[in-house]
Structure 1
């Protein structure tokens, strides 16, 4: 899915306010603290609450493996002013509930409401269409997660409908809004 360019752990993307870099072992504590917050974990299908530190280590190892093999691109989010301090995670890769590439993300609550996730999503979308040559990118958000739906819409994603998806960490299914962005839509929005 992703080219050699992204398969080295020195790969990073810089935005106006963020560094997107490969997750590292030192990020585990921040992941446990930030992703483990109930408000964050409950909006995701995979992050348990409370979060298991050993599961966090396994997540980092798997993310690095998938990045190295080009199967996915999982990036730690950090402020440019503190590039070693993880504040969230964003990824594009396979997802059991959808065909093709899926965008997923979370951000620690101290960083909500600043437009940081919109900045990160726009950057990952560009990486996917520019570097990976992707044609269609999908995402989803719980219908109750208004902020996540707004991020996707702001970044050009179009709502495709609603369905129930498995949320293993929540112990059942949840209703999600489905979103999609095509290369043509992305290119047109950029004026290309």
Structure 2
């Protein structure tokens, strides 16, 4: 799904405030603390609470393996002022229906500053511009309006509601479903350029 460009662990995307880089073993403690926070974990399908260290170790190994093969792309978020300190994760993986799916989380201390919107926009740009993506799906728990706002701000269109498996929550849960295609991404990217130039 992703080209050779992304398959080296020196690959990174820089935004105004963030570095998006491959996750490393040094991110383990930050993931345990930030993703293990109940307020974060409860919105995620595969992150149990409490979060055991072996689950994080397996996640890191899997993320790096998928990045290396191009099967998906999982990137750690870090502030440019502290590039070694993970504050969240953003990823695109093959979806169950064949459409790639975007997922993400951000540590609670960093909520409300627009950082996830910045990260999602950057990864979407990489997906459509460098990986030749045509369609991207995402979803957010209905009880998570902040995640919905991130997707809408990045051009995703709400396509309805449904249920998705949340194995870490032990049930299928209701979600808002979203979609972004290449044409809408282009239009949103052009609009962002015009806004920044104004």
| TM score, norm. by length of structure 2 | 0.95
Equivalent residue number for residue 27 of structure 1:
27
- Given that 2:154 and 2:188 are in contact with CA atoms closer than 8 Å, whether structure 1 keeps it comes out as no
Superposed, 1:42-191 pairs within 5 Å as 42-96=42-96, 98-191=97-190
| CA RMSD in angstroms, aligned pairs only | 1.0
Which aligned segments of 4 or more residues in structure 1 are displaced greater than 2 angstroms?
Answer: 189-192
Which one has a larger percent strand, Structure 1 or Structure 2? 1
Q: What is the CA–CA distance in structure 1 between the aligned matches of 2:54 and 2:3, rounded to whole Å?
A: 30
Aligned-pair CA distance for 1:188:
1.8
Structure 1 runs not aligned, ≥5 long = none
| Number of corresponding residues | 191
Partners of 1:85 and 1:3 lie apart in 2 by 26
- Per-residue CA deviation, residues 106-146 of structure 1 (Å, 9 max, x unaligned), is 00000000000000000000000001000000000001100
What is the CA-CA distance between 1:46 and the residue it aligns to?
0.5
Q: Provide TM-score, normalisation by structure 1.
A: 0.98
Deviation at residue 70 of structure 1 after TM alignment = 0.2
Query: Residues of 1 paired with 2:34 and 2:71: CA distance?
Result: 26
